[in-house]
Amino acid sequence: MRLFLALIPPPALRERLGELADAAHSRCGGRRTPDENLHLTLAFLGKVSEERAAALVDWMHGLAVPPGKWQLDAWGHFRGPGIVWVGGSRPDPALQRLHETLWDRLEAHGIPGRPSRYVPHITLLRRAGRLDADGLPAPALAWRYNRLELIHSINNGQDVRYTPLARSQAT
């Protein structure tokens, strides 16, 4: 099972992100992330056995994530895969801490793959052209979060569906 840990935007924020995605898409083309797939990945686990996934579900049910607020105020671009994203213009210490803490626990569960660098971002477009943010609306969004989801990513060759397996406790 292909799994990742993510924050899911509340509906109003998802709508705003969708508007930014539309604006970027009309400029850069590519494949726009469907609204229902918009998310912030905290940790990408990759392929995990069903047995280990069941243990992670139990862990998630007991997990409490410190509430936080992430300021989304920048466009970004990963050139290789042509990803256009929105995120923060400067590092967010709370998200970085959360990422590190989660990886400490994931490694204790025997999950490998901790990346050397974490760039929090919300992917809006894939396989897009070069990003030129001139003329695009400047992102100015605040995301208040307090819950994390463990998500199963299922790719059927045409599209990708994300199925939540567990949520952390509300804090």
Binding site residues, ligand NAP, CB under 6 A: 2, 4, 33-34, 37, 41, 44, 83, 115, 123, 126, 153, 155, 159-160
Choice between 99 and 135, CB closer to ligand NAP: 99
- d(CA 38, CA 8) in angstroms, rounded, equals 7
Q: Least distance in Å: CB of 31 to ligand NAP?
A: 6
Taking only Cα atoms into account, the Rg of the chain, rounded to an integer number of angstroms, comes to: 16
Q: Least distance in Å: CB of 138 to ligand NAP?
A: 21
Choice between 8 and 63, CB closer to ligand NAP: 8
Are 114 and 106 in contact, with CB atoms under 8 Å apart? Answer: yes
Q: Least distance in Å: CB of 55 to ligand NAP?
A: 20
What are the start-end ranges of the H helices in 44-113? Answer: 50-62, 93-108
Looking at this protein, which amino acid is placed at residue 104?
D
Are 42 and 148 in contact, with CB atoms under 8 Å apart? Answer: yes
Choice between 116 and 135, CB closer to ligand NAP: 116
